[in-house]
Amino acid sequence: MYEYDEECLRTFLKNQSRLFDEPVAETLEEAEAFLEDCMAAVVDSIEEVRQFLEEDGLDVDGMSAEELEEASEVFAIPNGKYLIVEG
């Protein structure tokens, strides 16, 4: 189970429209519950994002770090970590 700190939750709330047509959460508590339900991952680097997506069966060969960061399910957290949410 991942720990979702306040910065992570705020990043998700602010950017959830990249992944979903309608908001799935409006408060920090709702965001945390949603992320726990969908088992969202928090990783430390863009290389860990690549590894996670590869293990999940996505073809990320040839994708640059910038392209990975722009993927709709990847949210860059201001602290340098990444939140990965499968929609």
Domain extent, residue 23, equals 6-84
pLDDT band at 4 (very low <50, low <70, confident <90, very high): very high
How many domains does one find in the chain? 1
| Residue 61, domain member (yes or no) | yes
Domain-embedded: residue 15: yes
pLDDT computed for residue 54 by the predictor = 94
Render pLDDT for 9-56 as a digit per residue (tens, 0 to 9).
Answer: 999 999 999 999 999 999 999 999 999 999 999 999 999 999 999 999
The predicted model scores a pTM of: 0.92
Distance CA(33)–CA(68), nearest Å, equals 25
> Does some domain include residue 1?
no
Residues 6 or more apart in contact with residue 32 via CB below 8 angstroms: 4, 9
Is 42 contained in some domain? yes
Does residue 63 lie within any of the structural domains?
yes
pLDDT at 1 over 70: no
What pLDDT does 87 receive?
A: 64
Which tokens is 31 given? 């965001």
